Each structure stands twice: as structure tokens, then as C-alpha cells.
Structure 1
Amino acid sequence: MSEPLPLVASEVWKKFDGVTAVSGVSLELGEGETVALVGPSGCGKSSLLRMIAGLDGVDGGKIRLQGVSVDDGQSRVMPEDRSIGIVFQEHALFGHLTVAQNVGFGLRAQSRSARRARVAEMLALIELPEFSDRYPHELSGGERQRVALARALAPGPTVMLFDEPFASLDQNLRVQLREQVAQVLDSTNTPALFVTHDPREALALGDRIAVMRAGQIEQVGVPEEIYRHPLTMFVASFMDEANFLSITKDGSGWSTVLGAVDQSSEGHFVAMVRPNDVAFVSDDSGDAKIQRCDYAGSHWLLRVRLRTGDEVVVLAEPDSRATVGDRGNLGLRPGAKQVVVRQS
């Protein structure tokens, strides 16, 4: 018989003052796996995390940890008895305790020698071994968040939960810290649910990504699947810039202004293509005209209008000589495909 999964949420519901925050969500977390739960503010992702943590109870459905029910709407295990580690956006360290005392706070049932050894192990893991006697006010924001991670990991939780832990940090520090967090989770083989509103963060951290919208999970898959093969317009545009093109049918099949698409039936569908999958080729008699050029350092984003009225965003090389008003033709780059997605 296979081992039970670290986390299974089944058809979970939650309402606040009559307003549905989480609507029948099901989600699984495998051993050693990191799932990034991503979506816009107010979509219910933090509400789901709080129910998994035990901070709020479910109104319906069930949550199981290692196969054991911890909340089914009738019987609920309290947070302190769930073997879960949590890291929030606010570092929530105890200001009157040293770094070592903060990290060892959840180890008070252990002997002094065992506690000291575990604290030293955790501080080495987050690469702050020399910071044991410092206080939180003596640390940078990134250092405080690493200490919060060590404190959450110290008791050896079944599952780690992260709720927007890097939101208050600047971009460079966010990238550095998420790499360190990923390394720590890998080295400890700790399963983790990582809540974020940043799609780049989700792509970088998640073994799988769950995209949430209006209280429901719209798609779950590995990062490449979510990015390259979204199921809906919402998922496609939330994860990154996307072009959506009308699909028409003629005697030879279904197509857009960029060529043929694979579509089996009529319905509310459009074709999606990423800007880096489209090429602009200069031609004075071409059907496309550049309306705007936005420089992004590593590339240009060309906003191009076709004679059909369709507008397409094209990613061009940083040394591109294209300018507003240039005419040309659009085509798919070698190997690129248009993906049919549901309108949403």
C-alpha cells in the first residue's frame, strides 16, 4: 500500500459574512513537493492556506495531513497539533529573544543539548551560523525571513506553508531569498505549499503550480504546462503577456491571422500565442504596422496592428531597429504553436 500524501484538501469551502472565499477547492501535495498557489489578490489563496494551517475552520469538505483528517467541518485539530510550519509575510519573530532562542522556540520539549544541536543545524542550513546571539532588530529583512524559515523548520513539520513571504522585500533580495528557500526545502525534502501573487515566483519555485481565481482553482500543472499550454484566457494572461486571436473556419479548417490552429469543435475559444513566439519581418507592403515600441532592456516589445484590426505584441531582440510606423508581416517563429484556450 502506498504511503498517504502529506496534504490532501478535498472539496473545501469557506464563507466570510455570507461571501464565498473558497469554493469547492481540491488540492494535493506530494512527498518532497513544492506546489505554488498563485492568483490575484482576493482570489482565496490565503484563505485556503489558513484552513490548512488550522487558523480558520472549513465550512465544507475535508483536509487531511498524512492521511489523517484534521478538519471536516465537524471535527477540527488545532494548529499547534497539526505538525505544520508557517512563514508569513510579516516575520513575526520575538523581538526580546535572540536568533537562537527564536529558532529553538518550538523545541522547548527537547533537552537543552538536543535543542542546542538542532538550532545550530538550522542556522547552518540558512547560512547564518554566526548570528545566534543577535536580536531581530539587528537583522535585515531578508535575514529575519531566513530566521523565520529556520524556526518553522526546526520541529520537523509534515508540511511547510508560505504566505507571500517575500512580498515586503525588494526584487533582488526576493530572487536571492527564494533560491535559498528552494535549496533548504530540497535539502530537507520538506513538502511545501507556497502562496504568491507573483507568477514569476510561482514558475521559479513550484514543482507544480495551481492557478486560483475567484475562490476556485482554474488549472494545476507543471510550470511549463501552465505557461505554454494554459486552458483559459485568464491563466494565459495572468502568467505572462499573451496575444489572443480570433479563430475562423473555412474550407481548409480552423485558423487565425497567424495560420492554422488545432481545434476540434465550435465554441467560446480563441488562440493564444506568447510574444516571444511571434516574429515581425519588415516589408513596406506588409499587412502589419508597428504602433508602439517599449524597451525592456533584454528585449523590445513591439505593439503591432494588422489590417484586420487585430493587435499583436511581438518580442524583438534588444538590437532591433524597428520603429513606430514601420510596416511588415507577422509569422510564428520556428517550432512555435498557437494554443487554443477557453474564453474567460
Structure 2
Amino acid sequence: MASLEINALTYRYGQNKVVDDLNLTVADNEIVCLLGASGCGKTTTLKLIAGLIQPEQGVIQIGGSRVNEHKLFVAPQHRNIGMMFQDYALFPHLNVAKNIAFGLKGLNKAQRDARVKEMLQLVQLEEFAARYPHELSGGQQQRVAIARALAYRPKLLLLDEPFSNIDSQVRFSLINDIRQIIKQQGVAAIFVTHSREEAFAFADKLAIMEQGKIAQLDSAEALYRAPANRYVAEFMGQGVYLDAKKISDYQVSTNFGVIHSSQPLAAHSTGQVYLRPQHMRLINGENHQIELLQQRYLGLDYSYTIVIEDQALELQQSARHAIDVNAALAVEVEPHAVTYFAHEA
């Protein structure tokens, strides 16, 4: 059974349709990230799931139970969800143990104490039970927040930019730890972020949002290798477009030569390929009218900022394969799963 099912969800701010006929299913113990540019509707979607705002239309089911429809509207505290906010929302006047115990209703003292102890062990904060939030590091506060969110065994966990206030040096270690905790507890989760790197590290699937809709839902690898449209391709990483003509199911011809694809190409005979820097190498050779804007030495690598057909791109290459920047420049494109689109209408 799915932990979350959303059908035709719509919400407006004034005349602006922020969430537009959105559909989403999250399986049990699956972590899905809502990812997209500012204003795409990801935070509003999270608020709709939480019950913090009411949708204009659509149905949300959590753990198989409907939480809205027509006159039905289940309050947030009755939706069997846990929430984890950007600022952690810990109570400053309560110690760690009491923060974790705060949402535990309907339990006697012995049961409540046992659950708090279990959660302290889960997040490895047994020695910090009597401390207050201001006495903890950001990462420790994060662990308290996840322990509190999971303490009453919710069906669904909602996380809103939970790692944005964590120092970059420890962020990905913490992301890995929190992911393992969620997986160990068997909870499904919806995670909102603007960071691709955080999404790749934390989520099982990414839902790329565009103008209130989910443009594509899949694993990070599948989105990178086979984006459904130009928006998804560009969101998944920097690149340049080259006009191309299909000459076989696995080859396209461009001004930079024939490019070989490791997967069958789309049916259209002419279009554009979207090339990422990972699939290109700058060399000295036949002049492809490439302009070099900048070269930087990075120790083990060089960074080259170039212009290809009026599009800027940064390439990093090993210092062992340095090029003569004063000679003619060309690019080699390695065989890969080529992203090939029809010309825009």
C-alpha cells in the first residue's frame, strides 16, 4: 500500500495557480524529493499534504485514508504525519528528552520514557537527554528534530529544507545518517530542497517540479540519462545545445562531428542534442570556432570556460592532459546516452 497518494491537487494564490493538477504516489518506506526552482510549488505542495492550507481541488490519501475531499478536511495533528522544519522548531525551554516526548499522546509515563529512550539511542544522543537546544550543535539539534518527528511512529514524514542550516563540512555525513534512520524506521518521506546534491544523496526518487506540476518523477540516474524535456535536462546539470540530424538509431551528425549514443534516439529526424561537460573533452585540433574565455589551474585539474555556438560552458580536465590555449581548439564528444530533443515550436 502507498503511504501517500495525491490525485489532481490544485491550489491558487489569488489568480496564480501554484499547484496545478498534481499527481504523486509515494510507496511505503520510500523517500521522494520535491525539487525545483523557487516558485515551482514544492513548498506549497508540502503544506497541502501537511494540512497547513486547504487545496482548491484534488484528493490526498495518507496511509490509505483520505484527509480531504468536499467537506472533509483532517487537521494536521490527526494526519499521522511527522514534520521536520528548516529551523528544527525545537522548544527552547524543554530539554532534549522532553522535546522528543512532546508529541507522545495516549501513553503512560513508563511507555513514554521507553519510547524516548529508544529514540535517543536511534539518533545516538543518549548522553544529551538533559541538555537544552541552545547547548547543542546544529547537527545535534537536527537529530533531536528527527527523533521527535519519528517518536509517535507516523505513516509519513515531511521535511522542509532540513539541511540548509547545517555547515557544509558535516552536511552530507548528517544526510546519510538521517536517511539511514528513516529507512530503519520504515517510514515514507517527502523531502523539499532546492539543492540537487542534497536530493541525490538523500532521496530514492526525485520529482522535478515545473510551474506547479511534476515534470518527471524517477531516480536521479534516470532523470540525468533520459530527461523528459528541456527543463528537466537543464535542471539536472549544465550543458549546451547543438543542432543535430539523426543519421541512425544511435548516431546524430552535428557541426562538431558524429556523436554516438548508447541508447536509441528519439524518432525525429532533426533536432538538438544537449551536451553536458562530463561528455566532452577540450583538445587541440581542427578549429571548431570555440572561444576560450578563461583558464584556471585547480591543482589536479584545469578549468576551462569556453563558448560553443554562443553558449558558455565550463569544462574540467586533468592537468595531465593540459592543452595549448594559444592553438586551435576543438572538442571530442564521448559516446553516451545522448539527450536528443525536437526543435522547439
TM-score, reference length from structure 2 = 0.90
Matched, 1:336 2:336: yes
Distance 1:323 1:83, change over 3 A: farther
**2:170 aligned with 1:173:** yes
Q: CA deviation at 1:313?
A: 4.2
CA separation of 1:123/1:298 partners in 2, compared to 1, >3 Å: closer, same or farther?
farther
Q: Distance in 1 between matches of 2:115 and 2:158?
A: 21
Q: For each residue in 1:70-104, what CA deviation from the matched residue of structure 2 results, as whole angstroms up to 9, or x when unmatched?
A: 11253111111111001010111111111000001
- Report what 1:123 is aligned to: 120
Whole-angstrom distance in 2 between the partners of 1:153 and 1:250: 55
Partner of 2:3: 6
For the 8 Å contact 1:136–1:144, the answer to whether it is kept is yes
CA distance in structure 2 between the aligned counterparts of 1:245 and 1:168, rounded to whole angstroms: 39
Q: Which residue, out of 265, 279, 288, partners 2:281?
A: 279
Q: Tell which deviates more after alignment, 63-72 or 158-167.
A: 63-72
Distance in 1, matches of 2:36 and 2:296, equals: 26
**CA distance in structure 1 between the partners assigned to 2:120 and 2:237 by the alignment:** 36
Match of 1:16 in 2: 13
Could you tell me how far 1:310 is from its partner in structure 2?
6.3
- CA distance, structure 2, for counterparts of residue 101 and residue 227 of structure 1: 44
Separation in structure 1 between the aligned mates of residue 300 and residue 43 of structure 2, nearest angstrom: 34
Q: Equivalent residue for 2:242? A: 245
The CA distance in 1 between the partners of 2:297 and 2:42, in whole Å, is 34
Q: Answer yes or no: is the 8 Å Cα contact 1:273–1:337 preserved in 2.
A: no
Contact 1:43–1:213 under 8 Å retained in 2? yes
Q: Within 5 Å, give how 1:220-259 maps onto structure 2.
A: 220-248=217-245, 254-258=252-256, 259=258
Map residues 191-210 of structure 1 onto 2, 5 A cutoff: 191-210=188-207
2:246–2:269 contact (8 Å) kept in structure 1: no
Q: CA deviation at 1:207?
A: 0.9
Q: How does 1:66-145 map to 2 (within 5 A)?
A: 66-145=63-142
Equivalent residue of 1:106, what SS? coil
How far apart are the structure 1 equivalents of 2:319 and 2:47? Answer: 44
Q: 2:238 & 2:196 partners in 1: Cα distance?
A: 11
Partner of 2:152: helix, strand, or coil?
coil
SS in 2 for 1:42: coil
Counterparts in 2 of 1:250 and 1:134: CA distance versus 1, 3 Å = closer
What is the distance in 1 between the residues matched to 2:230 and 2:319? 28
- Structure 1 residues 134, 290: closer, same or farther in 2, change over 3 A? same
TM-score (norm 1): 0.90
Encode CA deviations 1:21-64: one digit per residue, 9 max, x unaligned.
10111111001111111111111101001110111111111101
Looking at structure 2, the residues matched to 251 and 171 of structure 1 have their Cα atoms a distance apart, in angstroms, of 46
| Pair 238,296 (structure 1): closer, same or farther in 2 beyond 3 Å | farther
Contact 1:254 1:263 in 2 (8 A): no
CA contact (8 A) 1:57 1:73 kept: no
Amino acid at match of 1:193: I
Map of 2:51 onto structure 1: 54
The answer to whether the 8 Å contact 2:159/2:192 transfers is yes
CA deviation after TM superposition for structure 1 residue 299, in Å:
4.1
SS at match of 2:228: coil
Change (3 A) 1:153 1:21: same
Q: Which residue of structure 1 aligns with residue 292 of structure 2?
A: 290
Structure 1: how far apart are the matches of 2:322 and 2:337?
Answer: 26
**How far apart are the structure 1 equivalents of 2:62 and 2:198?**
26
CA distance in 2, matches of 1:16, 1:297: 50
- Whether the 8 Å CA contact 2:240–2:311 is kept in 1: the answer is no
- Is residue 302–residue 322 contact of structure 2 (8 Å, CA) maintained in 1? no
Q: What's the secondary structure of 1:127's corresponding residue?
A: coil
Q: Which runs of 5+ in 2 are unaligned?
A: none
Contact 1:7–1:65, Cα closer than 8 Å, also in 2: yes
- Provide the rounded CA distance (Å) in 1 between the counterparts of 2:217 and 2:248: 36
2:93 alignment partner AA: H
Give the structure 2 partner of residue 302 of structure 1.
304
Partner of 2:317: 316
Matching residue of 2:267: 264
Q: Deviations over 1:81-136 (max 9, x none)?
A: 11100101011111111100000111132111111111111111111111000001
Give the CA deviation at 1:328. Answer: 3.1
What secondary structure does 1:37 align onto? Answer: strand
What is the root-mean-square deviation in Å for CA atoms of aligned residues?
A: 2.4
Alpha-carbon distance between aligned partners in 2 of 1:200 and 1:251, rounded to the nearest angstrom: 35
Report the 3-state secondary structure (helix = DSSP H, G, I; strand = E; otherwise coil) of the residue aligned with 1:247: strand
Partner of 2:212: 215
Q: What is the identity, as a one-letter code, of the residue corresponding to 2:178?
A: V
Matched-pair contact (CA < 8 Å) for 1:291–1:325: no
When residues 310 and 53 of structure 1 are mapped into structure 2, their CA distance, relative to the original with a 3 A threshold, is: closer
